[in-house]
Amino acid sequence: MRYSLLDLAPVPEGLTTADALRNTGDLAVHAEAWGYHRYWLAEHHNMAGIASSATAVMIGHVAGLTKRMRVGAGGIMLPNHAPLAVAEAFGTLATLYPDRIDLGLGRAPGGDQAVMQALGVQMARAERFHEEVAELRDLLGPPQVRRAVRAYPGEGTQVPLWVLGSSLHGAQVAAMLGLPYAFASHFAPAALGQALAIYRDRFQPSDALSRPYAVMAINVFAAPTEAEAKRLRTSMQQAFYKLRRGTPGKLPAPVDDLRDVVPEAAFPALDEALRISAVGDPAQVEAQLRDLIDTYRPDEVILTAQIHDHAARLRSVEIAADAMARISRSLAA
């Protein structure tokens, strides 16, 4: 089983965006050495704690620092961009880094109403998401000499498209178009089982894919001890609580007792939103990853680690890679 990494380029409290970008490059280099198959970056806007807003630029940076690992978007929020502009950007990346670029597509705006207004986003475009994904596939596909507008670069690059989602809509689009599907279970797991079932049941083979290919996202907080891993997780818990309250900021430092900074009444909602997680020492993390894989049967997992301290984040990602390598070997046996 392939295992991959999702990075939002988090900006920790006490550090700068420049620090976050350096950390992303360092993490990517290590991730390739640890056997991660792909490295995805996510588009978000107007968030001081996330530095991956210019996603295509970040992808080019990471691809330039690595040699073999696939690099891509997890994802590009398509309503924010004209399909032609996306095709040209990713066609350029694919030309610079052949057979290494992925293009994951989402239908959310990646920000609030103010962001949508600033980007000139019309929400009606979200209802045409499936049409725009199909248009993008055509722009990146074989040359069509009679097409009025063609993507240069882009045409003929066949950049692999993915549909991303946290609801049933993305599963339906991916199945209808015969594309691989990645579910954002690391923060919105409620519809995970149902979405995967719909995708698999309704999948229509295409030139891109002959059978369903589903990826699930999993948070990983791994450390030498369970206590340390749970402490690392408090950064993500605080960040998610602040986001739900409408007061997002930089990634908070971990705390010894979450009750000091988050009311206990908020714990059930946090636990539910972040329940697709592996938290603990190496043995615990491996066992939890095995349980999640056994339950949902993904074709691939994409791990994410929103951890304040960069060294601790590297250690967590390495522990997870070791666990996934053992799981992969056991599944192949």
- pTM given for the model: 0.96
The predicted model gives 155-162 an average pLDDT of: 98
pLDDT tens digits, one per residue of 191-224: 999 999 999 999 999 999 999 999 999 999 999 9
Instruction: Read off φ and ψ for residue 230, nearest 5 degrees.
Output: -65, -35
Residue among 54, 44, 47 at smallest CA distance from 21: 54
Distance CA 8, CA 6 (A): 7
State residue 116's pLDDT score. Answer: 79
The predicted model gives 305-321 an average pLDDT of: 98
pLDDT tens digits, one per residue of 13-64: 999 999 999 999 999 999 999 999 999 999 999 999 999 999 999 999 999 9
State residue 110's pLDDT score. Answer: 63
State residue 118's pLDDT score. Answer: 87
Residues 4/37, Cβ–Cβ less than 8 Å: yes
Average pLDDT, the chain: 96
Domains annotated for the chain, with CATH where assigned, are 2-332 (3.20.20.30)
Distance CA 117, CA 108 (A): 14
Distance CA 195, CA 215 (A): 11
The predicted model gives 167-174 an average pLDDT of: 96
The predicted model gives 240-245 an average pLDDT of: 94
- Percent of the chain clearing pLDDT 90 (strictly above): 92
How many Cα neighbours within 13 Å face the side chain of 178?
9
The predicted model gives 169-187 an average pLDDT of: 97
Q: Report DSSP state, residue 83.
A: H
